[in-house]
Amino acid sequence: MSNERLRAAIASAGLTLEEVGDRVEVDAKTVERWISTGRVPHATNRFAVATLVGKCTEFLWPSTLSEARTRSVSEAEFVMIYPSRGAVPSSTWAALLADAHESIDILAFAASFLVDTVPDFIDTIAGCARSGVRVRLLFGDPASDAVRLRGEEEGIGDSLAGRCVLTWRYLRPLIATSGVQARTHRSTLYTSIFRFDDDLFANTHVYGSAANQSPVIHLHRIAGGRMFSDYLEGFERTWERAVEAGPDHVV
């Protein structure tokens, strides 16, 4: 069975098989076999490749972990649960932004609460991007069926679409900022995701309830854990299907 996680990780890192081979000191054909046949490299090569592409070895080669250990490590990723998104202090969001040094990934329909409750949210995000943090913002298309249906399920009708429009208006100054990538999605959203480096907040979507009233799980990434990487994979799948929002994006 081919290793599509490894293939995708190498592509996302902007590397060729030859470049990976050179850095790990193996032949490019060996790297290709790791992908095409699912062959598991020796531990030294696993760690070298994982470091190169910015993934943990257990994500790239999950067969190297026993189920018992995987369960134990995944439990260790769990930090706490908030009964609702509204219970997360605004100072927590501000601290997560301030501490981010590598990646900020946000997936939601609107998440306009960030602008409303986090002081200088737009300027802070722009500052993070200018300092080298990769920022990916993924918000809903107000005209999509997914947004319409979610609005109906929450009993707020077109209000959710209106919030999406408001979010995109907030984002206009950011879209032109170097280091900020923004895309609009039309996907059914089961969980809003807020990722800041190795911390991830998963805001579940309870049928008929607003996201603000639904639980939030705080996870911290630990090598070998599954929960953080599972949510991040969901972000990546949505990102790949989304449409880039350029500087002239208007909704």
Cβ neighbours for 121, distance < 8 A, ≥ 6 positions apart: 97, 114, 115
Whole-number pLDDT of residue 69: 59
Q: What is the mean pLDDT of residues 123-132?
A: 94
State the greatest distance between any 2 C-alpha atoms of the chain, in Å, as a whole number.
58
Whole-number pLDDT of residue 223: 75
- Beta strand pairing call for 134-140 and 180-185: parallel
| Neighbour-count burial of 225, counting CB atoms closer than 10 A to its CB (0-12 exposed, 13-18 middle, 19+ buried) | buried
Domains of the chain: 4-64 (1.10.260.40), 73-244 (3.30.870.10)
The token duo for 97 is: 């932004």
pTM: 0.71
Question: Is residue 222 very low, low, confident or very high in pLDDT (cuts 50, 70, 90)?
Answer: confident
Strands of the sheet containing 216-220, edge to edge, are: 78-82, 216-220, 199-204, 191-196, 103-107, 134-140, 180-185, 243-244
